[in-house]
Structure 1
Amino acid sequence: MEKILEVNDLQIDFDTFAGSVKAIRNVNFHLNKGETLAIVGESGSGKSVTVRSIMGLLANNAKVASGSIDFKGRDILKLSNREIEKIRGNDISMIFQDPMTSLDPTMPIGKQVAEPLLIHGNVSKKKAMARAEEVLELVGITNAKNRMKDYPHQFSGGQRQRIVIAIAIVNYPEILIADEPTTALDVTIQAQIIDLMKELQNKIETSIIFITHDLGVVAGIADRVAVMYAGKIIEYGSVDEIFYNPQHPYTWGLLNSMPTLDTDSDRLYAIPGTPPNLLNPPRGDAFAPRNPYAMQIDYQAMPPFFKVSDTHYAATWLLHPDAPKTEPPVAIRKRQEEFRRLVAEGKITQPENDEGGVKDDAE
């Protein structure tokens, strides 16, 4: 498939009073045209910083130490602010986590949806407002024509998220970045937003980077999955490979922390320990102190990516030929069985997988 975006050896540091934080450490991935790539991991793993660098929205104390972000033959990191502004909101758009902080409480929603058109397109205000109404209807705002002059506080949480999506897609972007777009919503509304994004992807033919900490959300929307930990991608593969054949102990932990219908609500699993301090990144595997399967080499050397299949790679010494044989915990197999059941019952609709992989030095 045609690559529309490629991130190569990206390293981002943050200057702090305590020193330089190595927030993103040699991250590589690509996005194919028309696909959905999910980037998953705990809070603080580097997901949002990675995608904000694509949008040119890094904090003032952030510094891109190395790497490139190629979009349609141009390195975004080498563009001027004016050139990036032409791309942001037009070719590449972003849906943020909290719609109330994304929307202007003093401006009617019709004007807010039309604003990207007026900034990027050579259209009249009348045409922009007509397009805004059309897109609001597209995202499911009932009676959109009569609600164009309403303000954000007059809508429910789910409706506000739909309005934020309308703002992001009004220019029909080639890439849509969704940064935890369902976290602030209840489960029922989450499912509606996920279904809406899949429907919109087909209608406007956009590619999606979906950021989340919830692997359960990933199951119904992603083609490929990249798992991040401590500023690095540590496993990637198709959605089937990540759910049915995970290889990294951190991925096992994420899957194990997903509640199931059989889960006792008082006994939710959590990965023990905390992520490392990236002021001084560990020499070996950053997950080693939290990994019950860690070996001595995990503390001494960073594991390379080992090939599991043509589309599946994982950076763990457990895949070395000389490593002891290990299997995912029994709890994960129960979650896999439930996942299969939900797919069979049609409660989770899986996208068709492609044969794209994430670039790494090991390839």
Structure 2
Amino acid sequence: MEKILQVKDLELSFHTFAGEVKAIRGVSFDLNKGETLAIVGESGSGKSVTTKSIMRLLPESSSEFKNGEILFNNHDLTKLTDKEMQKIRGKDISMIFQDPMTSLNPTMTIGKQIMEPILKHQKVSKAKAKEVAVELLKLVGLPNPEMRIKMYPHQFSGGQRQRIVIAIALACNPKILIADEPTTALDVTIQAQILELMKDIQKKVDTSIIFITHDLGVVANVADRVAVMYGGRIVEVGTVDEIFYNPQHPYTWGLLSSMPSMDLEEERLYAIPGTPPDLLNPPVGDAFALRSEYALQIDLEQAPPMFQVSKTHFAATWLLHPNAPEVEPPANIIERMKTFRGSRYYEETTGGEA
């Protein structure tokens, strides 16, 4: 598949009064044309910082690229000036933020806000830009768009505002759409509608999506591939079936165990013990070792490399080393795998046998 974005060995720090926070520590991943890549992990794992670094939206006064590349259209985005990035933001790479009310200008009609990136990046008249704005509102499913482009953000519900933010992000037909937890503030019914809308739009405009979330239930519905982040690093990456039905990293096991399930009779919801690492003084070895019951002595001494599980599946855990002891996933993870007999991955790897 054609790679539209490549992030290679990215390291980024924040300079604070307390010291240097090493927020991103050697992150690498690719985004293929037309696919949806979900980046998941707890709060503070580095998901949003990683994607905001792609857009160059972090404050230059306190953040610093220490190493690595972000390659897009044969350009390293870490090396571009802010003026050069302005030509890319909104045109080639767009972002949908978590809270639409803080993304929209309360003093401007939504029509003007949708037209703004069109007029900035495309040589069209105001009349043509207005026409495109109306079409975009139709695309995201808002009725009576000719009337609604004259309205202000406060005149819409939360779900409608999120649709407007998506319309703005799509205004210039971007090659990459970054969605930073776009459904967090919405109720489950509206959330399902927005997710369905994004899948439908992706088919129509053929854009690649990076979807940031902590909700694995959302991931199962929207993603083609999944990258699991912890402590500023990607600890596992694979197709959505591989991550859900053949997880390899103990942190991924913990995330999956903490998902509620209608199929399993669990009295209590599992919670990963402990807290995320302090990135002012990041651990020497595996950042998850102190929270993991499966940690080996080497986990405390040396960070694991990415071990290959399949052509598309990699995990950074010493448990995959040939000399490591054999460890089975938690019992509830094995039970979940058994409930997913209908999955492509399960059928291919087991022949459908329990």
* TM-score, length-scaled by structure 2: 0.94
Cα gap change, 1:338 to 1:161, in 2 (>3 Å): farther
- Residue 276 of structure 1, CA deviation: 0.7
Deviation string 1:10-49 (CA, Å, 9 cap, x unpaired) is 0000001111111000110111111111111111000111
Cα gap change, 1:340 to 1:92, in 2 (>3 Å): farther
Deviation string 1:253-272 (CA, Å, 9 cap, x unpaired) is 11111111257898322111
Distance of 2:240 and 2:321 partners within structure 1: 23
Aligned pairs for 1:111-122 (under 5 A) are 111-122=112-123
Residue in 1 that maps onto 2:102: 101
Residue in 2 that maps onto 1:25: 25
**Structure 1 stretch displaced more, 332-341 or 280-289:** 332-341
Three-state SS of the structure 2 residue aligned to 1:87 is coil
Three-state SS of the structure 1 residue aligned to 2:87 is helix
1:231 aligns with 2:232: yes
Distance of 1:178 and 1:250 partners within structure 2: 23
- Residue 336 of structure 1, CA deviation: 3.6
Residue in 2 that maps onto 1:92: 93
1:324 aligns with 2:329: no
Distance of 2:151 and 2:195 partners within structure 1: 25
Contact 1:36–1:209 at 8 Å: present in 2 too? Answer: yes
Residue in 2 that maps onto 1:8: 8
Residue in 2 that maps onto 1:261: 262
Residue in 2 that maps onto 1:353: none
Distance of 2:86 and 2:221 partners within structure 1: 32
Three-state SS of the structure 1 residue aligned to 2:192 is helix
Residue in 2 that maps onto 1:290: 291
Deviation string 1:38-72 (CA, Å, 9 cap, x unpaired) is 11111100011111111110123110011111101
AA matched with 1:161: Q
1:309 aligns with 2:310: yes
Distance of 1:328 and 1:265 partners within structure 2: 17
Deviation string 1:309-352 (CA, Å, 9 cap, x unpaired) is 111110101111222211221222343445556x69xxxxx9xx
Distance of 2:58 and 2:338 partners within structure 1: 40
Distance of 2:338 and 2:278 partners within structure 1: 36
1:242 aligns with 2:243: yes
AA matched with 2:292: N
Which ranges in structure 2 are unaligned for 5 or more consecutive residues? Answer: 346-354
Deviation string 1:147-180 (CA, Å, 9 cap, x unpaired) is 1111111111111111100000011100000011
Cα gap change, 1:284 to 1:101, in 2 (>3 Å): same
Aligned pairs for 1:177-192 (under 5 A) are 177-192=178-193
1:83 aligns with 2:98: no
Contact 1:139–1:196 at 8 Å: present in 2 too? Answer: yes
Q: Which runs of 4 or more aligned residues in structure 1 lie more than 4 Å from their structure 2 counterparts after TM superposition?
A: 262-266, 337-341
- Residue 302 of structure 1, CA deviation: 0.7
AA matched with 1:54: I
Distance of 1:89 and 1:39 partners within structure 2: 21
Three-state SS of the structure 2 residue aligned to 1:211 is strand
Contact 1:255–1:335 at 8 Å: present in 2 too? Answer: no
Contact 2:110–2:149 at 8 Å: present in 1 too? Answer: yes
Cα gap change, 1:336 to 1:113, in 2 (>3 Å): farther
Three-state SS of the structure 1 residue aligned to 2:118 is helix
Residue in 2 that maps onto 1:36: 36
- Residue 292 of structure 1, CA deviation: 0.9
* TM-score, length-scaled by structure 1: 0.91
Deviation string 1:93-138 (CA, Å, 9 cap, x unpaired) is 0000011111111111111111110111111111111100100110
Residue in 2 that maps onto 1:167: 168
Distance of 2:105 and 2:40 partners within structure 1: 29
Distance of 1:178 and 1:200 partners within structure 2: 13
Three-state SS of the structure 2 residue aligned to 1:276 is coil
- Aligned sequence identity (%): 68
Aligned pairs for 1:207-218 (under 5 A) are 207-218=208-219
Three-state SS of the structure 1 residue aligned to 2:146 is helix
Distance of 1:65 and 1:198 partners within structure 2: 35
Contact 1:276–1:282 at 8 Å: present in 2 too? Answer: yes
Three-state SS of the structure 1 residue aligned to 2:280 is coil
AA matched with 2:18: A
Distance of 2:34 and 2:185 partners within structure 1: 26
Distance of 2:266 and 2:249 partners within structure 1: 26
Cα-Cα RMSD: 1.7
Residue in 1 that maps onto 2:49: 49
Contact 1:35–1:207 at 8 Å: present in 2 too? Answer: yes
Three-state SS of the structure 2 residue aligned to 1:309 is coil
Distance of 2:334 and 2:143 partners within structure 1: 42
Contact 1:260–1:338 at 8 Å: present in 2 too? Answer: no
Three-state SS of the structure 1 residue aligned to 2:309 is strand
